[in-house]
Amino acid sequence: MSAIDASALEKARLHIKWKHQFQFAGYYAAIEKGFYKEHGLDIEILEPDFATDSVTAVLVGQAEFGVGNSDLLLYKHRGAQLVVLGVIFSTITTFFHHTY
Protein backbone atom coordinates (compact mmCIF):
# COMPACT_ATOMS: atom_id res chain seq x y z
CA MET A 1 0.00 0.00 0.00
CA SER A 2 1.40 3.40 -0.92
CA ALA A 3 1.81 6.29 1.52
CA ILE A 4 -1.07 8.10 -0.17
CA ASP A 5 -3.38 5.12 0.34
CA ALA A 6 -2.27 4.73 3.96
CA SER A 7 -3.27 8.31 4.75
CA ALA A 8 -6.82 7.55 3.61
CA LEU A 9 -7.28 4.75 6.13
CA GLU A 10 -9.86 5.21 8.88
CA LYS A 11 -8.27 4.72 12.28
CA ALA A 12 -10.17 2.39 14.60
CA ARG A 13 -9.46 0.76 17.94
CA LEU A 14 -10.28 -2.84 18.87
CA HIS A 15 -10.59 -3.41 22.62
CA ILE A 16 -9.78 -7.02 23.49
CA LYS A 17 -11.13 -8.60 26.66
CA TRP A 18 -7.85 -9.83 28.12
CA LYS A 19 -4.08 -9.37 27.88
CA HIS A 20 -2.35 -9.76 24.52
CA GLN A 21 -2.16 -13.53 24.04
CA PHE A 22 -2.70 -16.32 21.55
CA GLN A 23 -6.51 -16.35 21.73
CA PHE A 24 -6.42 -13.03 19.83
CA ALA A 25 -3.87 -14.18 17.23
CA GLY A 26 -6.40 -13.89 14.42
CA TYR A 27 -6.73 -10.14 14.94
CA TYR A 28 -2.96 -9.67 14.86
CA ALA A 29 -2.62 -11.91 11.80
CA ALA A 30 -5.27 -9.84 10.02
CA ILE A 31 -3.23 -6.70 10.70
CA GLU A 32 0.00 -8.31 9.46
CA LYS A 33 -1.67 -9.68 6.34
CA GLY A 34 -3.30 -6.34 5.56
CA PHE A 35 -6.90 -7.58 5.73
CA TYR A 36 -8.14 -4.52 7.62
CA LYS A 37 -6.29 -2.17 5.27
CA GLU A 38 -8.01 -3.83 2.31
CA HIS A 39 -11.24 -2.54 3.85
CA GLY A 40 -9.91 0.93 4.63
CA LEU A 41 -9.15 0.43 8.32
CA ASP A 42 -6.02 1.09 10.37
CA ILE A 43 -6.68 -1.02 13.48
CA GLU A 44 -5.01 -0.50 16.84
CA ILE A 45 -5.52 -3.33 19.34
CA LEU A 46 -6.06 -2.14 22.90
CA GLU A 47 -5.39 -4.31 25.92
CA PRO A 48 -7.83 -3.78 28.82
CA ASP A 49 -6.82 -1.90 31.95
CA PHE A 50 -9.47 -3.91 33.87
CA ALA A 51 -11.11 -0.70 35.07
CA THR A 52 -13.17 -0.72 31.86
CA ASP A 53 -14.52 -3.79 30.08
CA SER A 54 -14.68 -4.00 26.29
CA VAL A 55 -18.39 -3.19 26.06
CA THR A 56 -18.05 -0.08 28.20
CA ALA A 57 -14.95 0.98 26.24
CA VAL A 58 -17.00 0.91 23.03
CA LEU A 59 -20.05 2.58 24.56
CA VAL A 60 -18.04 5.52 25.95
CA GLY A 61 -15.96 5.97 22.78
CA GLN A 62 -12.61 4.59 23.97
CA ALA A 63 -12.78 2.02 21.14
CA GLU A 64 -14.81 1.53 17.98
CA PHE A 65 -14.87 -2.28 18.24
CA GLY A 66 -14.69 -4.72 21.11
CA VAL A 67 -14.36 -8.40 21.87
CA GLY A 68 -17.07 -9.46 24.26
CA ASN A 69 -18.94 -12.45 25.54
CA SER A 70 -22.46 -13.33 26.66
CA ASP A 71 -22.70 -10.21 28.84
CA LEU A 72 -23.52 -8.38 25.60
CA LEU A 73 -27.03 -9.77 25.97
CA LEU A 74 -27.41 -8.04 29.33
CA TYR A 75 -26.17 -4.72 27.94
CA LYS A 76 -28.56 -5.00 24.98
CA HIS A 77 -31.45 -5.92 27.27
CA ARG A 78 -30.73 -2.77 29.30
CA GLY A 79 -30.92 -0.66 26.13
CA ALA A 80 -27.28 -0.34 25.05
CA GLN A 81 -26.95 0.58 21.38
CA LEU A 82 -24.70 -2.31 20.28
CA VAL A 83 -24.44 -4.34 17.10
CA VAL A 84 -22.90 -7.81 17.14
CA LEU A 85 -20.73 -8.14 14.04
CA GLY A 86 -19.92 -11.80 14.41
CA VAL A 87 -19.79 -14.73 16.76
CA ILE A 88 -16.60 -16.66 17.30
CA PHE A 89 -17.02 -19.91 19.16
CA SER A 90 -13.90 -21.22 20.79
CA THR A 91 -13.21 -24.05 23.14
CA ILE A 92 -10.21 -25.02 25.15
CA THR A 93 -9.05 -28.40 23.99
CA THR A 94 -7.29 -30.54 26.52
CA PHE A 95 -5.28 -33.55 25.45
CA PHE A 96 -4.79 -36.24 27.98
CA HIS A 97 -3.34 -39.69 28.25
CA HIS A 98 -4.10 -42.57 30.56
CA THR A 99 -1.20 -44.62 31.76
CA TYR A 100 -1.71 -48.22 32.76
Summarised one tens digit per residue, pLDDT across range 4-14 is: 466 799 999 99
DSSP code string of 7-75: HTPEEEEEE-SSSS-GGGHHHHHHHHHTHHHHTTEEEEEE---SSS-HHHHHHTTS-SEE---THHHHH
Count how many residues are written for the chain: 100
pTM of the model: 0.79
Fold topology of 3-77: D-Maltodextrin-Binding Protein; domain 2 (3.40.190)
Q: Are 20 and 57 in contact (CB under 8 A)?
A: no
| Cross-strand bridge partners of residue 42 | 11
Summarised one tens digit per residue, pLDDT across range 17-73 is: 888 888 899 999 999 999 999 999 999 999 988 888 899 999 999 999 999 888 888
